[in-house]
Amino acid sequence: MNYAKILDCTLRDGAYLVDKKFGDNTIHGIISGLEDANIDIIEIGFLQDEGMGEGKTVYKNAGEAKKFITKEKGNTIFAALADYSRYSIENLEENDGTSIDAVRACFFKNERYDVIEFCKEVKRKGYKLFVQPVDILGYTDSEIIELIENVNELEPYCFSIVDTFGSMYADDLQRVFSLIDHNLVYSSKIGFHSHNNMQMSNALSQEFLKISYGKREVVVDTTISGMGRGAGNTPTELVAQYMVSKLGYNYDIDAILDVIDTYMDKIRTKCEWGYNTPYFIAGSYSAHVNNISYLTQKPTIRSKDIRYILNKIGSKERKRYNYDLLEKTYMDYMESDIDDSEFVEKLKKEFKDKNVCIIAPGTSIKSCEKELISWIEKNSAIVITVNFLHDSIKSDYLFISNIRRYNYWKNDENFETCKRIVTSNLHELEHETNNMISFTKIVKCGWKNMDNATILLLRLLDMMELKSLSIAGLDGYDNANNYLNEELEVKDVRSACIERNVEIQEMLIDYMKLRVHDYSIQFITDTRFKL
């Protein structure tokens, strides 16, 4: 019984990772490969008012989409997704059979009444209608029934269960499917669109195929290699293989693998997706993936901090990305405006008229270790290492602003032999109270990486009347190893190296403009930055 279809939405859901720009050759190649694989429905991109760009999977109308539609479609259905709030249905011409066959009407819960007229126009113009309510778990049972009653008169081609945040478990899927199956007009199919935040996507797709067997025709959304924002989506190849092995379908797995080899592996060199702990947290809290992207860029943040912040934002707000709210919540969480006056005065006395050398953990330290040691001795410099300890260079002070770094270095034999300066955002370190500096005093908003440790330390030292300040190991980032100690390497640093370098340079410029005390300052190792 061929009751199920695969809808591949790589060129739409995967498009978020490449700014919708796959390139014409790749778009044609993916579509051709999916046709060779006998995939039933191919979603080729977005319908948006902005219209088409070169090599992009976004179209103002069916005419613009036509360039990617093969003349001999066979049994393949071609679809495009229209966000109700981003597309004027007036731009869509009547279906003449030479372009897309179907429109997926995507809408938020607060738009569920207004979208009905939009959907009517899709049908009137001769397109198959997919109804795609964002975040089905955000609806109560009665709200789902009400929505279905409103769309039943339209007899949509498909009504989809959309697990926007990858938050579903099997019992959630069973409940929602049963509710829709009992209330949706029987001529309509039920779709399932899942994200892989909790590693459930493939298993849930199999469960969906099991519970629908003998009851209803269904559509399973997938993407090749699971390509999609954050944790990604249900992999096309996994669902197709399951349906071939267990249900007797005739998808050509080799053709899908050819697409992966030719196109997807190349795309993976430019962007990343797939399960990780932060995206698990996004799924468990039904949070927008961009919230996670923002928080994981903070070098000091831990997984449990992300949980706390998402919880603090609230269930409704965290489903959308609000930069200002997220920034404020993050700062509220990190801030701890303690009275550090006694400790600051102590530091002022120790540093007054002294040469100070900041050593950040960049790889440049390794190549000039002997020269650096000699320079420190010659200038009788006070050494402050930033979030790390060096085997050969003695730290007079260890500046710590990152709890993960603190926990890593506290077991080092040199940890207790050097003095420490700890920022007050490390809330757990009550035993370090006497060594704490107010985080609030030295942080400044406006940058994603506003809590860069070296910048924080520079602002702290500007409270002191130094003789001179020298900086070593602040190399800047690239896509190779960035840390003297490779165990400190953070994966996301490499992928965002350009952005981080730009921000650090901007913060350095800001620091130089606003300096209170005038003492000489210089880099003494190779760096990408200028003072």
Amino acid at 185: V
Backbone φ, ψ for residue 334 (5° rounding):
-80, -30
Q: Would the pLDDT of 444 be above 90?
A: no
Q: Would the pLDDT of 494 be above 70?
A: no
Least confident of 291-300, 335-344, 522-531: 291-300
Helix/strand number for the chain, H first, E second:
22, 16
Handedness of CA 94, 98, 99, 102 (dihedral sign): positive
Sequential DSSP letters for 69-101: S-S--TT-EEEEEEEGGG--GGGPPPP-SSS--
Q: Model pTM?
A: 0.66
Least confident of 63-77, 164-178, 324-338, 412-426: 324-338
| Higher-scoring residue by pLDDT: 75, 336 | 75
Q: Would the pLDDT of 217 be above 80?
A: yes
Handedness of CA 237, 242, 244, 250 (dihedral sign): negative
Q: Read off the pLDDT band of 1 (50, 70, 90).
A: low
The mean pLDDT value for 284-297 works out to 76
313-to-275, 285, 286, 292, 295 alpha-carbon distances in Å: 23, 11, 12, 13, 13
Closest CA to 325 of 299, 302, 295: 295
User: Residue 468: left (phi > 0), alpha (psi -120 to 50), or beta?
Assistant: beta
Alpha-carbon gap, residue 223 to 116, rounded angstroms: 28
Other CB atoms within 10 Å distance of the CB of residue 453: 21
Backbone φ, ψ for residue 189 (5° rounding):
-85, 160
Give the chain's radius of gyration (CA, Å).
Answer: 28
Q: What is the pLDDT of residues 56-71, one digit of tens each?
A: 999 999 999 999 998 8
> Could you give the percent of the chain with pLDDT greater than 90?
68
Q: Read off the pLDDT band of 417 (50, 70, 90).
A: confident
- Both ends of the chain: CA-CA distance in Å? 70
* DSSP helix/strand/coil, 449: coil
Question: What value does the mean pLDDT of the chain take?
Answer: 90
- For residue 17, the Cα-to-chain-centroid distance in whole angstroms is 9
The mean pLDDT value for 503-516 works out to 93
- What DSSP character marks residue 47? E
Q: And the tokens for 221?
A: 């959304």
Q: What is the pLDDT of residues 161-214, one digit of tens each?
A: 999 989 999 999 999 999 999 999 999 999 999 999 999 999 999 999 999 999
Q: Read off the pLDDT band of 336 (50, 70, 90).
A: low
Q: Would the pLDDT of 113 be above 90?
A: yes
The pLDDT, as a whole number, for residue 285 is 77
Q: Read off the pLDDT band of 498 (50, 70, 90).
A: confident
137-to-130, 164, 176, 316 alpha-carbon distances in Å: 18, 9, 8, 12
Domains of the chain, first to last: 4-268 (3.20.20.70), 277-334 (no CATH), 341-523 (no CATH)
Q: Read off the pLDDT band of 50 (50, 70, 90).
A: confident
- Tokens 């007899």 belong to residue: 155
Maximum average pLDDT range among 216-225, 290-299, 360-369, 404-413: 216-225
Q: Read off the pLDDT band of 239 (50, 70, 90).
A: very high
- What DSSP character marks residue 307? H
Residue 358 near residue 386, CB atoms below 8 Å: yes
> What is the signed CA dihedral for 32, 36, 41, 46, rounded to 10 degrees?
-10
Q: Read off the pLDDT band of 488 (50, 70, 90).
A: low
> Could you give the percent of the chain with pLDDT greater than 70?
96
Q: Read off the pLDDT band of 299 (50, 70, 90).
A: low
515 Cβ contact partners less than 8 Å away, ≥ 6 residues apart: 462
Q: Read off the pLDDT band of 334 (50, 70, 90).
A: low
Q: And the tokens for 94?
A: 């009547």
Q: Would the pLDDT of 295 be above 80?
A: no
Q: Would the pLDDT of 331 be above 80?
A: no
Other CB atoms within 10 Å distance of the CB of residue 195: 28
State the helix-helix crossing angle for 115-124 and 141-152, rounded to 10 degrees.
30
410 Cβ contact partners less than 8 Å away, ≥ 6 residues apart: none
154 Cβ contact partners less than 8 Å away, ≥ 6 residues apart: 116, 119, 120, 123, 129, 131
Beta bridge partners of 57: none
46-to-64, 94, 159, 222, 399 alpha-carbon distances in Å: 11, 17, 18, 16, 49
CA 43-202-270 angle, to 5 degrees, is 60
| Higher-scoring residue by pLDDT: 106, 485 | 106
Closest CA to 290 of 318, 328, 332: 318
The mean pLDDT value for 307-316 works out to 77
Beta bridge partners of 47: 59, 82
